[in-house]
């Protein structure tokens, strides 16, 4: 009788734990062009304290203006190919570009007018170095971010898992650039491997990373 009571209590506790974790698993959905502003909003928040982007655009108003342009341009390819993923409440989003698609960096040229004059040559050199690592045959993740108020809940990991599952099913590989050590560690947990380190003068370091297909 006592054993049955203990088993029943354990089963109740297990059910409660299972229910808790099920309720708190982020739900990831494909996102349409109609939700562009929501996607731009959460990515803008997520990157507002990013060391690399704020080194490029240290002035807050310049960052907001220029990042809005960057999002408008980078999201075009992602939405066109239906590879924008978001947490259902837009607490996080990611933009992906398919293999073989070249991004025209010249469309971002107007934003470089807002880079501090003493830094512009180094910034251009920095991004030119990035291009040397970018493989043409890999899916590219230019942006992924989570609302700072919702971080540490696994949203970033679930955004990655959703896209990487699709990429693995195709037998393809994926590429990204980690803009800090913490994000690099996250990407490593999902199978990405550092293939270089980019840093010039006073810039923060960034890390090109590749992930081979798990299939």
Rounded to an integer, the average pLDDT of 134-159 is: 93
Q: CA-to-CA distance for 179 and 144, rounded, in angstroms?
A: 11
What was the pLDDT predicted at 22? Answer: 46
**4 or 168: whose pLDDT is higher?**
168
What confidence tier does 21 reach under pLDDT thresholds 50, 70, 90?
very low
What confidence tier does 151 reach under pLDDT thresholds 50, 70, 90?
confident
Give 80's contacts (C-beta < 8 A, 6+ positions apart).
none
What confidence tier does 102 reach under pLDDT thresholds 50, 70, 90?
confident
DSSP string of the chain? Answer: -HHHHHHHHHHHHHHHHHHHHHHTSPPEEE--GGGHHHHHHHHHHHTTT-HHHHHH--SHHHHHHHHHHHHHHHHHHHHHTT-EEEETTSSEEEEEE-TTPPP-GGGGGGGGGGS-TTTHHHHHHHHHHHHHH--TTEEEEEEEEE-GGG-SSSHHHHHHHHHHHHHHHTT-EEEEEE-SHHHHHHHHHTT-EE---B--TTPPPBEEEEE----
Q: CA-to-CA distance for 156 and 102, rounded, in angstroms?
A: 25
The pTM score is 0.87
Give the count of beta carbons closer than 10 Å to the beta carbon of residue 4.
8
Place of tokens 């907001």: 64
Hey, where are the domains in the chain? 28-211
Burial class (CB in 10 A: 0-12, 13-18, 19+), 128: exposed
Q: Could you tell me which CATH class the domain 28-211 is placed in?
A: alpha beta
User: How far from each other are the two terminal CA atoms of the chain, in whole angstroms?
Assistant: 51
């Amino acid at each position: 009788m006592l054993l049955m009571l203990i088993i029943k209590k354990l089963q109740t506790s297990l059910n409660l734990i299972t229910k808790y974790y099920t309720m708190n698993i982020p739900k990831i959905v494909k996102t349409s062009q109609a939700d562009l502003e929501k996607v731009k909003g959460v990515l803008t928040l997520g990157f507002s304290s990013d060391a690399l982007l704020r080194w490029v655009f240290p002035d807050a108003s310049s960052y907001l203006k220029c990042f809005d342009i960057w999002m408008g341009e980078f999201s075009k390819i992602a939405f066109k190919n239906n590879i924008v993923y978001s947490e259902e409440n837009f607490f996080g989003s990611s933009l992906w570009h398919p293999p073989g698609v070249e991004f025209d960096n010249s469309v971002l040229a107007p934003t470089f007018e807002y880079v501090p004059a003493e830094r512009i040559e180094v910034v251009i050199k920095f991004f030119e170095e990035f291009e040397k690592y970018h493989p043409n045959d890999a899916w590219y993740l230019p942006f992924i971010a989570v609302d700072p108020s919702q971080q540490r809940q696994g949203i970033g990991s679930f955004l990655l898992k959703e896209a990487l599952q699709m990429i693995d099913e195709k037998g393809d590989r994926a590429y990204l650039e980690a803009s800090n050590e913490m994000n690099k560690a996250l990407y490593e947990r999902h199978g990405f491997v550092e293939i270089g380190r980019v840093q010039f003068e006073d810039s923060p370091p960034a890390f090109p990373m590749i992930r081979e297909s798990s299939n």
